[in-house]
Amino acid sequence: MPRRARALSEEERALWRSFAADIVPLRGGAAASPPPPPAPRPTEAAKAVARAASSGRDISTPPPEPDRKTKRALRRGALAFDRKIDLHGLTQAEAHRVLEAAVTGGRARRLLVVTGRGRAKADGGVLRRMLPRWLAEPGLARHVVSLGVAAPGHGGDGAFYLLLRRRKS
């Protein structure tokens, strides 16, 4: 339903008349068009998607899920995690830096990445949605073996298991 415009008070009308009295029409009678609004600055997430898209890699394809045997071992808790990173409360840029450091640092092979479920539970939070995209970036994708949603005991929908390639000695 369209919103009705508020009627101007007599004081506001008088103020407008005093302001408009100084206005001089442009030569030629044509009104100048207002300058276009500045383009919005791209976010870190948009930059990451653009980098991945320019690399030729399909950014819509997240890293592969773990195989059946690995999934079962993770659910049972038979595989210990080398490291847990919690991205709760971080901005996208901060979370991306923490994730990048953990993945490329080489000290961990099995990560539990806690993103949280997000406020919009239907489609998940921003960090939860961005994690697969970040891991699809060329700089990180070469380190990732698989990505899977964590078992309820490890955070369920708000956490992921991330298996990384072994580092060559």
In angstroms, how far is CA 10 from the centroid of its own chain?
49
For residue range 57-76, list pLDDT tens digits in order.
455 555 666 677 876 776 66
Q: Quote the domain boundaries for residue 110.
A: 44-164
For residue range 135-168, list pLDDT tens digits in order.
888 888 888 888 877 777 777 778 888 888 876 6
Q: Which residue has the higher pLDDT, 21 or 1?
A: 21
Cβ atoms of residues 147 and 160 within 8 Å: yes
Position 99 in a domain: yes
For residue range 12-62, list pLDDT tens digits in order.
888 888 888 887 777 766 665 666 666 666 655 455 555 555 555 455 555
Position 121 in a domain: yes
Separation of alpha carbons 151 and 149, rounded Å: 7
Domain count for the chain? 1
Q: Indicate yes or no: pTM above 0.85.
A: no
Question: What's the CATH number where 149 sits?
Answer: 3.30.1370.110
